[in-house]
Structure 1
Amino acid sequence: MLEQARCGLLVVDVQGSLAKQVHDNDKVVANISLLIRAAELLEMPVVTLEQYPRGLGPTVQALQEKLPQSPLRKTSFNGIEHEAIEQVVRDTDRSQWLVCGIESHICVYQTTRGLVEAGFEAEVIVDAVSARHQLDTQVALEKCRDIGAGITTLELCLYELLGTSLHEQFKEILPLVKAHVD
């Protein structure tokens, strides 16, 4: 079960022209934007990664405007493989990580695997990840489940984090859930 006090959001490589090439790109970016806002309301840390931004370009503008801090740069597909990134994740003192971003079968999968191997709980948000080909996302999600990561949806994880309609942020999160793009 996800717990707000133990959970953070990891945004993986939503960058440049690649972000425009993935399946359902507008939906994925909109849902990630919503997740960033929800994380802010729930006082959850947001860690954003960029894969070789000189080559792929920066994080898309629609997300940059919402990020609480600058993205961390990486060259390995597994972001946790970078000591500095793993340290930032550890320094948040959060043991559960929601993972979203692109591409599902490369950096999302390998970073999720890195989280699990480093002793974190990871849950991949299926309606906030994508790849150029749907089959790659399907297989990546199966592999994530096989290594012990959870698979969730945007609405499922938000309601799980809230736990009750009496949560102090429920009224602020509800409009975000209604804005969720299927």
Structure 2
Amino acid sequence: MLRKDQTGLVVIDVQGKLATIVHDSEAFISNLVKLVKAAKLLGLPILWLEQNPEKLGETVPELQEALDMVEPITKYSFSACGEPTFVDAVKNTKVKTWLISGIEAHICVYQTALGLLDLGYEVELVSDCVSSRAIQNKEMAFAKLVRKGTEVTSLEMCLFELIGDCRADEFREALSLIK
């Protein structure tokens, strides 16, 4: 069960043209913006990654706007765990479980999730906030990651799990994000 005092969010490489050509890109980006807003509402640590932004471009504007209080971490390795700044940021939190979102599922998401598992963290893929150009690549990545110990959740499932009670202060505002 996810707990907001032990959970963080990683947003991976939702940049440039690639973000607009992944499978079901509009729904993916919309869900990811909702996830980021919910994570901020719940006070979760958020780590935002950009892969080689000089070549791939910046994070899409609507997601940049949602991430307004977070600084992106530039990376060049496919796994964010190959970037010391990211590993330091991960270790400087009190997080036990990382929610993983972004693109592409079979490359940077896959390798980052494996890296976090290797570092001893629990990992949950937010299924409707992860994408690839081809749905088959997403499905393959998820299948391999589940066999290696990750869990799969969705935007609504993780949100309600983190809130836990309809009397929680964040409930109404969180509900408005997904309705």
TM-score interval for Structure 1 and Structure 2 normalised by the shorter chain: over 0.9
Structure 2 match to 1:77? 78
Offset, 1:117: 0.6
Q: Aligned to 1:87, what secondary structure does the other structure show?
A: helix
- Cα distance in 2 for partners of 1:129, 1:66 equals 17
SS of the residue corresponding to residue 157 of structure 1 reads helix
Deviation at 1:168? 1.3
DSSP 3-state at the match of 2:35: helix
Residue in 1 that maps onto 2:64:
64
Equivalent residue, structure 1, for 2:108: 107
TM-score, normalised via structure 2 length: 0.97
**Match of residue 146 from structure 2:** 145
Match of 1:173 in 2: 174
Gaps of 5+ in 2: none
What is the distance in 1 between the residues matched to 2:62 and 2:15? 11
Percent identical among aligned pairs is 43
Amino acid at match of 1:31: N
Taking the aligned partners of 2:166 and 2:178, their CA distance within structure 1 comes to 13
1:90 and 2:91 are equivalent in the alignment: yes
SS in 2 for 1:92: coil
Question: Hey, what does 2:119 align to over in structure 1?
Answer: 118
Alignment of 1:9-24 (within 5 A): 9-24=9-24
- How many residue pairs get aligned? The number is 178
Question: Which amino acid in 2 is paired with 1:10?
Answer: V
Specify every segment of 5 or more residues in structure 1 that has no aligned partner in the other structure, as ranges. Answer: none
Within-5 A mapping of 1:1-16? 1-16=1-16
The one-letter code matched in structure 2 to 1:114 is: G
**CA deviations over 1:107-153 (Å, ceiling 9, x no partner):** 00110111111011110011011101000000011111011111011
- Map of 2:29 onto structure 1: 29
